[in-house]
Amino acid sequence: MGPMRQTVNGSGNGAANDSSGRLDDQDAAQAAADDVGVQSADEAVEVVEAEPLTPDQQRIVELQDELTAMGERLRQYAGSTDRMRAEFEASKARLEREHQRLLASEKVDAAQGLLAVLDNVDKALGSADGATLEAFVAGVKMIRADFEEALGQLGIVRFDANGERFDPERHQAVTAVPVTDPTLDSRVLKSITAGAALGDNVIRAAGVVVGRYVAPKKSEEPS
Instruction: Give per-residue pLDDT as tens, 68-82.
Output: 888 888 888 888 888
* pLDDT at residue 111, rounded to an integer: 80
pLDDT of 11 higher than 50: no
> Furthest-apart CA pair in the chain: how many Å?
191
> What is the per-residue pLDDT across 195-218, written as a single tens digit (0 to 9) for each?
999 988 999 999 999 999 998 887
The domain 157-223 having CATH identifier 1.10.150.130: the answer here is no
> What is the per-residue pLDDT across 87-130, written as a single tens digit (0 to 9) for each?
888 888 999 999 888 888 877 877 887 888 888 888 888 877 77
Q: Taking the model in full, what pTM does it have?
A: 0.48
What is the layout of strands, in order, in the sheet containing 156-159?
A: 156-159, 195-198, 201-204
| Under 8 Å between Cβ of 189 and 177 | yes
Return phi, psi of residue 130, to 5°.
Answer: -100, 5
Nearest CA among 157, 179, 148, 155 for reference residue 166: 179
pLDDT averaged over every residue in the chain: 79
When pLDDT is cut at 50, 70 and 90, the band that residue 6 belongs to is very low
The radius of gyration computed from the CA coordinates of the chain, to the nearest angstrom, equals 56
Question: What SS3 class is residue 208?
Answer: strand
* Identity at 98, one-letter amino acid code: E
More confident residue, 200 or 24: 200
Nearest CA among 217, 214, 216 for reference residue 184: 214
| Under 8 Å between Cβ of 203 and 172 | no
* pLDDT at residue 203, rounded to an integer: 92
Please state, in angstroms and rounded to a whole number, the distance separating the CA atoms of residues 89 and 176. 52
Phi-psi label, residue 155: left if phi above 0, alpha if psi -120 to 50, beta otherwise:
left
Task: Enumerate the domain spans of the chain.
Answer: 54-154, 157-223
Q: Distances from the Cα of 15 to the Cαs of 18, 85, 101, 118, in angstroms?
A: 5, 96, 118, 143
Handedness of CA 46, 50, 54, 57 (dihedral sign): positive
User: Mean of the pLDDT values across residues 147-171?
Assistant: 91
Please state, in angstroms and rounded to a whole number, the distance separating the CA atoms of residues 208 and 219. 33
Could you tell me whether strands 156-159 and 195-198 are parallel, antiparallel, or unpaired per DSSP bridges? Answer: antiparallel
Instruction: Compute how many other C-beta atoms are within 10 angstroms of the C-beta atom of residue 185.
Output: 16
Question: What SS3 class is residue 221?
Answer: coil
* pLDDT at residue 219, rounded to an integer: 64
